[in-house]
Amino acid sequence: MATEAAGSDSESAPDAYTDLLQTYKRVANVRNAGGLLSWDQQVMMPEGGNPARSQQLSTLSSLSHELLTDDEVGEQLDELEDADLTDEQAAVVREIRREYDRAVSVPSELVEEISTTSSEALPAWEEAKAEDDFSTFAPYLEKHVELKREYAEHIDPDKDPYEVLFEDFEPCLPLEQAEEILDELRDTLVPMIEQIREEGDDIATDAFTREGDYPEGDQEELCRDVLSTLGYPWERGRMDTSSHPFSSGTMFDARVTTRFDETDPLGSLFSTVHEFGHATYNLGLPDEHYATPLGEDRNLSVHESQSRLWENHVGRSEAFWNVLLPSFKEHFPKAEDVTLQEAYEAANQVYDDNLVRVEADELTYHLHIIVRFEIERALIAGDIDVEEVPEVWNDKYEEYLGVRPESDSEGCLQDIHWSHGNFGYFPTYSLGSVMAAQLYAAAEDDIDDLEDHIAEGDFEPLHEWLTENVHRHGRRYETNELVVQATGEDFTADAFTDYVTEKYGDLYDIDA
């Protein structure tokens, strides 16, 4: 059985390595069990199950923490500092060391306090959003900022605290590099969007809205067909619905969820393709390294690069719509008059006045992210106070996106992330999109006629390229190194800016 071989090179490994890996596997299995419990909570669990489920999750979380921070783990890591290890073994030790160091440096009381604050902040955020009253949520955001500063101080008192927090989500991509990318994004996109609005041609946006509603059951069938077309292996996955689409699991069992809006068939479609991208990453991790760092994903930006690559570079391409549109019309005969060009335009329109991140298009999306990134950096640095957030938020929306929210509900209260105390998470969304562009450009260079393959519904060459260059490495390489291995270049925003300049230049007939 494939999994028997996990830690495949353990025969030639020092005992400390074998023991360390054994412990890590237990940690990973407990975490994966927790992942399944969370999936069930969001997809299957009856609402009454929460009191028991939250205790189960909390027990699993504390157990995996205890296993990871066991004194023996520290001793084994020390012993392996100067040991003679293979590259793979060295990567495993590096990854466990990073997790261990972080886990032991934060007092459990503080972890507990952050967890409690999140539990209290969530309903406060929900209430604030429902009642459009930022002041209900502000004290909890304030508390989170304080606790997270303290948290960062424990981990590394000499580092910019925001950088420490960013590393929770992106442990091996330097913040400086990330920031350069985000700055370039902003400097490219703000004028480009302005130019599209002022000089761009009118494009068709109503291909899928002019015919009325699309029943949920038919949308579901279409999404299942699309997953099959893309090559989703149903024997290792399943699709369900949840209030927020997500993917979860391992290479043996990588599930996706979606949600349906009867007025918007593109919503479920693109969210399904997006989650499919996440799932392919999990599925492409090597079976034989299950429950070890070599069988786990290289953090959020790489994960998001896979979802965005499939969603944007495949799903929003003309080539893909060549395959999709006939299938769409089979499920929805009323769309029979929609042309390929209309479909392509509707799938790629740049919105004039959207205020909501999760409804944004491929260009404006990143400005939503950059607003959040700049605000949370300033908050953690103490450059702005919590009470200033709504005003700063609205000013930045006006500056970058040309629209000003009229309420906090459609402004700074729209996302759940800060209620969890997650600062440093938002940038990974944009970094993933940017990485997707760089990876896709490299795949186009390496694969003969990739666009033709896609237009014929043949996704195998792309799957193979991604598995070979990204998935199969797990956490063997750090983030930039993984990108270099795959593309021959450092991770930058260049490929992304080239991509959007060409694509949207053509689409809106502008010379950006």
State the binding site for Zn(2+).
274, 278, 304
Shortest distance, CB of residue 428 to a copy of itself, whole angstroms?
A: 25
- How many residues form the binding site for a copy of itself (CB under 8 A)? 44
Q: Tell me how far apart the alpha carbons of residues 328 and 191 are, in angstroms, rounded to a whole number.
A: 35
Task: Answer for the pair 166, 156: CB distance below 8 angstroms, yes or no.
Answer: no
Q: Out of 12, 15, 49, 146, which residue is the one contacting a copy of itself (CB under 8 A)?
A: 49
Q: Does 253 bind a copy of itself (CB under 8 A)?
A: yes
Among residues 2, 130, 356, 358, which is the contact residue for a copy of itself, using CB under 8 A? Answer: 2
Find the binder of a copy of itself among 117, 250, 317, 497 (CB under 8 A): 250
Helices (H), 263-364: 265-284, 299-308, 318-331, 340-347
The two tokens of residue 143 are: 């508390």
Q: Is 38 in the site for a copy of itself (CB under 8 A)?
A: no
Instruction: For a copy of itself, give the closer residue by CB, 39 or 166.
Output: 39
Q: Residue 69 or 428: which CB sits closer to a copy of itself?
A: 69
Q: Which stretch binds a copy of itself (CB under 8 A): 32-40, 75-83, 208-216, 498-506?
A: 32-40
Binder among 237, 277, 315, 405 for a copy of itself (CB under 8 A):
237
Which of 243, 250, 302, 234 shows the shortest CA–CA distance to 271?
243
Which range, of 251-259, 269-277, 466-474, 488-496, touches a copy of itself by CB under 8 A? 251-259
How far apart, in Å, are the Cα atoms of 254 and each of 277, 313, 502? 11, 22, 34
Q: Which is nearer to a copy of itself, 3 or 327 (CB)?
A: 3
Q: Does 115 bind a copy of itself (CB under 8 A)?
A: no
Instruction: Determine the length of the chain.
Output: 512
Q: Which of 116, 135, 234, 498 lies at the binding interface for a copy of itself (CB under 8 A)?
A: 234
Q: Per CB under 8 A, does 266 bind a copy of itself?
A: no
Cβ-Cβ contacts under 8 Å for 485 (sequence gap 6 or more): 469, 473, 477
**Contact present, 302 and 482 (Cβ < 8 Å):** yes
Smaller CB separation from a copy of itself, 53 or 94: 53
CA–CA dist 57, 65 (Å, integer)? 12
Active site residue 275: yes
Place of tokens 């946006």: 205
Q: Which position among 88, 163, 170, 275 bears the catalytic label? A: 275
Helix, strand, coil percent content, the chain, rounded in steps of 5: 70, 5, 30
The number of beta carbons lying within 10 Å of the beta carbon of residue 193 is 24
Q: State the Cα–Cα distance between residues 19 and 351, nearest whole angstrom.
A: 54
Using CB under 8 A, which residues numbered 446 to 465 contact a copy of itself?
none
CB of 293 to a copy of itself, least distance (A): 16
The yes or no reply on residue 60 touching a copy of itself (CB under 8 A) is yes
Mark the segment that binds a copy of itself (CB under 8 A) among 34-42, 171-179, 269-277, 353-361. Answer: 34-42
The residue from 12, 15, 18, 59 that contacts a copy of itself (CB under 8 A) is 59
Q: 384-413 burial string, b = 16+ CB within 10 Å, else e?
A: bebeebbebbbebbeebbebebeebbebbb
* Residue 297 contacts residue 473 (beta carbons within 8 Å): no
Task: Retrieve residue 168's tokens.
Answer: 């929770």
For residue 33, state whether it binds a copy of itself (rule: CB under 8 A). Answer: yes
- Residues recognised as catalytic: 275
Binding site for a copy of itself (CB under 8 A): 1-3, 25-26, 29-30, 32-34, 36-37, 40, 44-53, 55-56, 58-60, 63, 233-238, 249-253, 255, 287, 290-291
